[in-house]
A and B are shown apart, each in its own frame.
Chain A
């Protein structure tokens, strides 16, 4: 088991203060993270004291049944949602010490996303969708970079198409291209094959891992696809909000 992982159940490590990133700093450090909501039936704990970190270049799968809290955990790790307690450090920066805009900027700089429902903007063409994060960051050669990565994902011929003119697989390729175009250090993928048939799903996973290797990105993906999870270096199994087990050996064996 790599040293960098410490599961919530085993860990006694106290919270570390936000430190500048060094090559040895984990790309993401989750510290005693919990999310609770109040419902009619009382307090519902969705994520309970999650505590782990991920090293640069790793691929980690978060697996669990429907409603186990894996998507909420992803949302918290990416700073899309606020935790009830705990911390998330990305590249050494305390995510929740930043305000909404600070988190957005950090995401723009370091984080990419791939969603189950692709989340392409319907009014933009494939090329424009991929250009968008670069344009938001004010990058000059947005178009050529977007064109290049779309060619890389095999969509050179379809750059002018709108999302609804593309198949599910093609839409997900655009989404992957968009996620990688800004060269993020960390990529979150939420059920990236959830909306695709098995064959297309497999092709998508290949693409995701190839790009991951090529660009040295850290990959955190939420899935209930065991095949996909098995491709990762490690798997975090979440059940009723609690991270239960971690099985790296099996992943290595794949």
Chain B
């Protein structure tokens, strides 16, 4: 206790001196940036999820071909989730035949109060009328229908519609339903009615093809818990879906968003830790004399260690708490700035990011202050007589290793993705090693460089060799710092715009399904007539995977939910002569168009969950007969390309004998809706699915991520400045002292500036060069391997890195040593000598 109080007194005294300030600022920025990013990412991620959840009208949906089992209701109620139900099935509906109104196949959708739990149904009171958010569900005795149904049966709002055994009044037109994407393959117009009218229709009977849905929404944790409860405990015909399961495009976009935010956050952690490491090292170095003096005055090694550790802990905790508080305030301001951007309100922040920030701050502090502290313990007491004696402690070097390992773990944790984190850590470790090696080589070769230069330049380069240890640390720290900033610049500009560019204006926004083979030529002709480019048409054959390598598949054997589901129901096989542009072969070889042997190419994700490899034999049950082929390649699919894509495709011709329907996607320019109406009128069996809503969701996600990354960039900039300052400060005393000596020997101002400039330019150039190469290499690996965005070299990066590095370091260096040039040399020598 006594030691603690003494440490507090020493801290109070040291804090005034200013040496502690850099450390305080470095920690503050570290914690504030990490906390802000966590807070923000946490809330944005929740908001993005909520917003994406509008696509399925809920956070999670339980679907079954039988009435939903009571165990789902029990769990949902235990977790206090909000619920609504939707029951859908196909049925014929009819207008008033006496008035010449027709009949049409429709999809009946009976809903309960509260539907939709996420998003809104848009309705209009009349055809062509202004649409608005529905505030309730259809009243009992009424239905809401889409315009297309009314056109087909020639009816109007206010007329009656016969649904099964009863007649219901058409009360409104449905303009937009939030969950239309769930019924991806739903081909008939939707008729929405109140669930209380359902039994009266007498359509629900044994053998009816009914899909029951229980929609749930609520607290994210509770929703996750709900899904987790039933993981692996689903009965046949039951499934739980979130928007990620339902829509690959949204899943991919959300994952990518997480990767970007994670990457930005981890770069800010790297920058902050470089700053903290430098600041802690300098703080400890400045304590060397004091420690030696205290040893003289009777302090034991343990005293020195504990006194300094307490100071660091109190200082660190203070900085961390302030940083976490600032992080909270910053993110509140940021959230306020973004109000209106989201269609859903940002969820309230949780305390977790603040705790994470605190934890990271303390880990950084201990990871990087323990090594110099341990060394401080071993300071030779003789230093009071001979100042040049520095402590050496092998244990301290080991502690640095510990610090780095901790930091690596932290980075991987913050990245939220092991692969992303591991690549980033490996990239930075390699860069650090290269920076160290290159720095060492440079310092070694300065003697030969010195011969080639003259005057002040020679002294500047000689200084670099004299400060070898310090210069090396400067090169490594600045190299890492610049690399992190360049990488963040690349993420913020190139990678995100590449992603946004992927979602260009001409992306397909309509899917056409259910085309029959005899209609293909006519459909092509229709597109030609309308001056639209003719889309690719892909066959779809429904089949169920029954055997892998002649071994019968038992769905229950799969642990993976997706694998279980895939193996238990039919899905679409397609065939293609060539590889689609948005597909990439990962293993094996894509077939030649004239291969006649039966082959499959499988999407790598589904291949992984089902355990399928190149060379395996797959057997499908297609319309009762078996179809067997060999897997010759695995493909990666860009699911967010908005083009028709398939988990499994076969080589051309081999599926021709099976019944197929065709699918295609195309881009429809706004205002061109008549083309779709014309298409559907000419080919009434076709269904056109509008993907605009999903696309705008994905665009929202990319825009939001771009915003968040820009914000993180500001923090990185601040952390970068601290790194620069701390790096310059790390050798400031030696420099100022050297300069004072030179001044006394008659050096003029210009000569002294050149001496400093030579040294800083060399350090900045080298750090910038290593950083540029490192950042470009790491960006290339990350974009190809993790973010899945194609990478092209941006030649501005080495330019900015090298020129910016050299200029920035030189400027900061000159500012930092201005004192040496401007103050009377004797004062400097007295103070530092």
A interface residue numbers (CB < 8 A to B): 71, 74-75, 78-81, 100-101, 103-109, 113, 115, 117, 119, 121-125, 128, 132-133, 135-138, 164, 178, 182, 190
Contacts and interface: CB of A to CB of B under 8 A. Distances in A.
A135 B3 CA distance: 9
Nearest to B827: A164
Given A107-B296, A113-B296, A123-B19, A80 B13 contact: no
B13 A115 contact: no
Contacts of B384: 80, 113, 115, 119
Given A80-B296, A115-B385, A123 B6 contact: no
12 contacts: A78-B296, A100-B381, A104-B298, A104-B300, A104-B301, A105-B300, A106-B298, A115-B385, A119-B289, A123-B17, A136-B298, A190-B385
Given A80-B296, A136-B298, A164 B385 contact: no
A105 B301 CA distance: 10
Interface in B279-333: 289-290, 293-303
Contact of A104 (B17, B299, B380, B833): B299
Contacts of B17: 122-123
A107 B385 contact: no
B382 A136 contact: no
B301 A100 contact: yes
Given A115-B385, A164-B831, A136 B293 contact: no
Contacts of A182: 297-298
Interface residues of B, number: 28
B99 interface: no
B385 A74 contact: yes
B6 A81 contact: no
A133 B297 contact: yes
B299 A71 contact: no
Given A104-B381, A113-B384, A122-B17, A136 B296 contact: no
Contacts of B831: 164
A133 B303 CA distance: 12
B298 A80 contact: no
B6 A136 contact: yes
Contact of A107 (B14, B16, B298): B298
Contacts of B233: none
A101 B17 CA distance: 28
Contacts of A123: 13-14, 16-17, 19, 290
A106 B500 CA distance: 71
A109 B301 contact: no
B376 to A, nearest CB: 14
Contact of A75 (B2, B19, B300, B382): B382
Contacts of A124: 13
Interface string B376-388: 0000111011000
A121 B31 CA distance: 31
Contact of A101 (B296, B297, B302): B302
B9 interface: yes
Given A75-B382, A79-B381, A107-B296, 20 more contacts: A80-B382, A80-B384, A81-B381, A100-B295, A100-B301, A101-B300, A101-B302, A103-B381, A104-B303, A107-B297, A108-B298, A117-B833, A119-B293, A119-B296, A123-B17, A132-B294, A133-B297, A135-B6, A137-B298, A178-B297
A123 B311 CA distance: 14
A108 B299 contact: yes
A105 B385 contact: no
A164 B14 CA distance: 15
A101 B305 CA distance: 12
Contacts of B290: 121, 123
A205 B19 CA distance: 35
B298 A133 contact: yes
B417 to A, nearest CB: 45
A128 B386 CA distance: 24
Contacts of B19: 123
Nearest to B11: A123
A35 to B, nearest CB: 11
Interface in B358-389: 380-382, 384-385
Interface in B253-299: 289-290, 293-299
A71 B298 CA distance: 20
B385 A109 contact: no
In order of increasing CB-CB distance, the 6 nearest A-B pairs are: A108-B298, A123-B17, A101-B300, A133-B297, A80-B381, A80-B382
B749 to A, nearest CB: 25
Q: Max chain A CB contacts within 10 Å: which of B2, B14, B382, B385?
A: B385
A138 B302 CA distance: 15
B297 A80 contact: no
A80 B299 CA distance: 13
Interface in B705-729: none
Contacts of A78: 296
Given A123-B17, A135-B6, A109 B293 contact: no
A138 B385 CA distance: 26
Nearest to A137: B298
Contacts of B2: 138
A81 B382 CA distance: 6
Contacts of A74: 385
A78 B294 CA distance: 14
B299 A136 contact: yes
Contacts of A121: 289-290, 293
A103 B301 CA distance: 11
A7 B244 CA distance: 91
A133 B295 CA distance: 10
Given A104-B295, A123-B14, A136 B303 contact: yes
A105 B298 contact: yes
Nearest to A113: B296
Interface in B416-446: none
Contacts of B296: 78, 80, 107, 113, 119
A61 to B, nearest CB: 17
